[in-house]
């Protein structure tokens, strides 16, 4: 025990030995001599305004969109399923966004117009009313000098099918978002 007290005494006397603290005193004097800065005031916060969500008449985000759209769509737009055994036309390999109407043809004044439809690969196809084009069973209804009208048959999301009209004008080209 005496040895432990002796070692402690030696360490304590070593700490209080003649250490020079003049550099510390100079630093403290320089720091206290500098002008004191001002602290910016806290920013003023705007009071919180509450928002009342009043969309009770809208579809709940937790319901299936198809179930809601069934109630909203009328029965007249419901159609029968497309014929799966029908032989597909060449232009049914392309989505409608990759097709563009580039012109129309007619043999005489009393004949029906044919349309010139261009694919993104650059090939041009001649189509008539009644033919199909697009990936969604789009059947051409009418061809005018500046427009091609068709109707697509698409699934409604709950096992049924609905018709969706689509028009393609001469000024539209594949890939443009107008």
Domains annotated for the chain, with CATH where assigned, are 78-169 (2.30.30.830)
End-to-end CA distance of the chain: 95
- Report whether pLDDT(39) > 70: yes
Dihedral sign (CA 124, 114, 173, 154): negative
pLDDT band at 71 (very low <50, low <70, confident <90, very high): low
Residue 40, phi-psi category: left (phi > 0), alpha (psi -120 to 50), beta (remainder): beta
- Report whether pLDDT(151) > 70: yes
Which range, of 8-17, 37-46, 124-133, averages the lowest pLDDT?
Answer: 8-17
pLDDT band at 141 (very low <50, low <70, confident <90, very high): very high
- Report whether pLDDT(135) > 80: yes
Burial class of residue 157 in the structure, from the number of CB atoms within 10 Å of its CB (0-12 exposed, 13-18 middle, 19+ buried): middle
Mean pLDDT of 75-102: 83
Cα–Cα nearest to 114, from 88, 156, 159, 144: 144
Query: Could you report the per-residue pLDDT of 2-30, keeping only the tens digit for each?
Result: 788 778 777 766 666 566 788 888 999 99
- Report whether pLDDT(175) > 50: no
Higher per-residue confidence, 9 vs 47: 47
pLDDT band at 158 (very low <50, low <70, confident <90, very high): confident
Distance between CA 46 and CA 107 in Å, rounded? Answer: 74
- Report whether pLDDT(172) > 80: no
Mean pLDDT of 151-157: 86
Burial class of residue 15 in the structure, from the number of CB atoms within 10 Å of its CB (0-12 exposed, 13-18 middle, 19+ buried): exposed
Average pLDDT, the chain: 80
């Amino acid at each position: 025990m005496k040895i432990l007290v002796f070692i402690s005494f030696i360490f304590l006397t070593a700490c209080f030995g003649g250490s020079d603290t003049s550099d510390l005193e100079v630093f403290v004097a320089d720091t206290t001599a500098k002008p004191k800065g001002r602290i910016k005031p806290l920013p003023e916060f705007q009071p919180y305004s509450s928002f009342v969500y009043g969309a009770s008449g809208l579809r709940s985000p937790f319901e299936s969109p198809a179930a809601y759209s069934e109630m909203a769509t009328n029965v007249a737009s419901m159609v029968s399923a497309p014929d799966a055994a029908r032989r597909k036309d060449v232009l049914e390999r392309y989505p409608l966004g990759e097709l563009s109407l580039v012109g129309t043809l007619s043999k005489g004044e009393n004949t029906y117009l044919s349309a010139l439809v261009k694919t993104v690969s650059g090939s041009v196809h001649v189509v008539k009313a009644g033919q199909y084009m697009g990936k969604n069973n789009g059947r051409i209804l009418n061809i005018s000098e500046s427009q091609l009208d068709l109707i697509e048959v698409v699934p409604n999301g709950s096992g049924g099918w609905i018709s969706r009209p689509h028009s393609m004008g001469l000024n539209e080209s594949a890939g443009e978002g107008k």
